[in-house]
Structure 1
Amino acid sequence: MRDTDLPVRCSALRGLSALVSELGGSGPELLKAYGFDEAKIAEGSSFVSLRLVERALEEAASRFAVPDLGLRMAAQQDLHMLGPLAIAMENSRTIGEAIGCASWYLFVYSPAVSLEETEDPLGSPGVVGLRFASTTMNASPQTIDYGIGIVHRVLTLINGGAPYGLRSVQLPHARLAHESAYRDHFGAEVRFDCPSAVLRVTTRLSSMPVSGGNDLLRDIAIDYLETHFGHEGVPVSDLVAAILSEQLGSGGPDLLQVARLLSLHPRSLQRSLSEEGTTFTGVVDRVRSRQALALITTTNLSFSQIAARLGMHEQSSLTRAVRRWFDTSPSRLRRAGQEPKASPP
């Protein structure tokens, strides 16, 4: 397992389907190939594997010869893809306060990414760095462009659409597209093959007022974030389910590995799940039942292949589980899923 198996909210994929369709492909087919649900993407509160998001962006960029795909994705996003965090940021008193909200609560969007203020990489006076980072040192270039591109867009939006004092951009990968694509997006010089992804900004940025901020709305948003998430992140059971969704077939569920990815001691993970009214075994069962239903009713895989994908050692285990979950046999469930649906009157 890799750190990129950590989850990110489905809202990260908003606009990908439409963009792929504009490029001459089939957006819905691309999403389906990776198991993404368009309805969940539109709703935005559930999670998908960061690894799959990386793969989907890299495949689309390669297949349709669009090396600036990540930047295009970032350019079309609005602030509210961040959910309640967006409300807290756009109603902060200053941009520095908004950046602080993002640094503290970005885990609500994904525990796999972070934003922090650092010293200027070039040591220039009056300049600081805003470093966008992933939990993995091997994050895909398209995902890096997308992530730091969104940070730039959010800062521009909360500054009323005006320049916010960006001096230059540093990216940790080689140039993917023509320099003009980067300059058009950031409006500043972009350097490549740097140690990390950084926006170099004026120190005055922290004191610049947020355009149209409202103290009451900010306080409500912060209270919501604290009440629903505290600083423990999204519900642990959701994070575990998102990780397991990509891991069941690779040796079966492993509590120790999942705990490591979440930076928790196994006992702490079990305790957190207990506080949410479930167990690791219970989450595994929930994920397996959802995947079993999809694999049985929408694919032609043999039942032994499905059992293997679910991390079950024998087909008989799948049969028993399907009877418990759906009160029927796998074969009957498959026939029911393949029956033509009656047309509406």
Structure 2
Amino acid sequence: MKQVDGTEYLAAGEGQHPSQLAQTTEAPNGRTLPPGYTHLGVSKEIVPTLRELGADPEPLIREVGLDPRLFDDGVSVIPFAALGRLYTLCVAHTGCSHFGLLVGQRATILSLGLVGRLMQHSATVGGALRALVSNLSVQDRAVVPSLTSRDGTALLTIATHQAESRSVEPILDAALGVTVNLLRTLCGPDWNPREVLVPRVAPADQAPYRRHFRAPVRFNQESASVVFPVGDLERRVAGADPLLRVMLEERIRHMKGGPGCEFSNDIRRLLRTRLTSNHCSADNMAHLFTMHRRTLSRRLKDGGMNYRGITNEIRFEIARQLLEDTMVPLGEIAAALGYSEASAFTRAFRRWSGQTPTAWRAEGHPG
């Protein structure tokens, strides 16, 4: 577990090659998930949510190439590209723009498997959230959480990792929905955040968000974040068992300790949560991994990658999401991605896509 400035934690991401997994089995040998795959976890709630909205889940699940029987168990392992397509299809089929939120609000801390149980037995809320950030990759590789604090305010932020742009909206809605449930489990059912930030255009009907979050909801934001007083991190978790916590930590540590690490994938996951801050240089990344910058560069080179190339991949990913799902002005997107001027961002985006950001937004914006 890495700690930086007392507030931000590295989510590890080691595992086996995707070809070693069958879609109907749990990750083999108790190892953490490989890149491209995720346990169903929270998304197991897709089926009851569809039924509640009067839709038959089986044809939709089969349309994206999955077996409906997978949804009988939250530990089923599936490609999250297929899961992303399913979320998109569910929104289109039901006409419910907040479908992801409905999924997330059904989920509980136990939807996170071992990680959820570890959170329940952490001594404090802060310890539970640090356990989530450090270990979620053993349960879910589709989203990446990070925890920051400043001036008396804490933010638990969720980013998507390699999700299809059209599926980002419902996936983040689901993640925010369950995140508030997690905090209410840890802090008590009457707990409410100060506010919730949502990186999507404000829907016509905002009432479902206000009902679930019981707090101000700000749309068109650069990140998906739950904002709350930093003092909440010191709250004790009722019923936590220290011995069970140690056992769960050891089991998760064993799962994360195997061979076959995907170092460049770890860098991508970490960049996805930090690229819009000022702490994402190669030197910062090397510090987080407790290695020299030259060692970081050498390990990436061994995998045929370089730091700048990975950084630009993630910049393009974030830019697409903000252009398609929000109305954040180009100047603010440029600044968030580390460009001093919007013109520099425009030139870079044209190199990546062959189009200007304005043209991309005009073609791809859902509204």
- Letter of the aligned partner of 2:136 in structure 1? L
Contact 1:115 1:133 in 2 (8 A): yes
- Letter of the aligned partner of 1:179 in structure 2? Q
**Corresponding residue for 1:303?**
none
Q: 1:111 to 1:60 in 2, by over 3 A?
A: closer
Task: Map 1:109-128 to 2 at 5 A.
Answer: 109-119=139-149, 125-128=151-154
**Corresponding residue for 1:161?**
189
Q: Distance in 2 between matches of 1:210 and 1:177?
A: 38
Q: Distance in 2 between matches of 1:222 and 1:154?
A: 19
Task: Map 1:58-207 to 2 at 5 A.
Answer: 58-119=88-149, 125-136=151-162, 138=165, 140-163=168-191, 166-176=193-203, 178-207=205-234
Q: Identity rate of aligned residues, in percent?
A: 22
Tell me by how many angstroms 1:266 deviates: 4.3
Task: Map 1:1-345 to 2 at 5 A.
Answer: 6-119=36-149, 125-136=151-162, 138=165, 140-163=168-191, 166-176=193-203, 178-230=205-257, 265-266=302-303
What's the TM-score, normalizing by structure 1? 0.61
Tell me by how many angstroms 1:151 deviates: 1.3
Contact 1:118 1:129 in 2 (8 A): yes
Q: 1:113 to 1:264 in 2, by over 3 A?
A: farther
Tell me by how many angstroms 1:144 deviates: 0.9
Q: Distance in 1 between matches of 2:259 and 2:95?
A: 40
Q: 1:231 to 1:149 in 2, by over 3 A?
A: farther
Tell me by how many angstroms 1:131 deviates: 1.0
Contact 1:172 1:195 in 2 (8 A): yes
What's the TM-score, normalizing by structure 2? 0.58
Tell me by how many angstroms 1:51 deviates: 2.2
Q: Distance in 2 between matches of 1:265 and 1:40?
A: 37
Structure 1: gaps (5+ residues): 240-262, 269-345
Contact 2:197 2:225 in 1 (8 A): yes
Tell me by how many angstroms 1:186 deviates: 0.7
Deviates more, 1:24-33 or 1:40-49: 40-49
Tell me by how many angstroms 1:160 deviates: 3.2
Structure 2: gaps (5+ residues): 1-34, 266-299, 306-367
Q: 1:194 to 1:220 in 2, by over 3 A?
A: same
Q: 1:119 to 1:78 in 2, by over 3 A?
A: closer
Q: 1:114 to 1:21 in 2, by over 3 A?
A: same
The higher radius of gyration belongs to 1
SS in 2 for 1:14: helix
Q: 1:147 to 1:265 in 2, by over 3 A?
A: farther
Contact 2:193 2:227 in 1 (8 A): yes
CA RMSD of aligned residues (A): 2.7
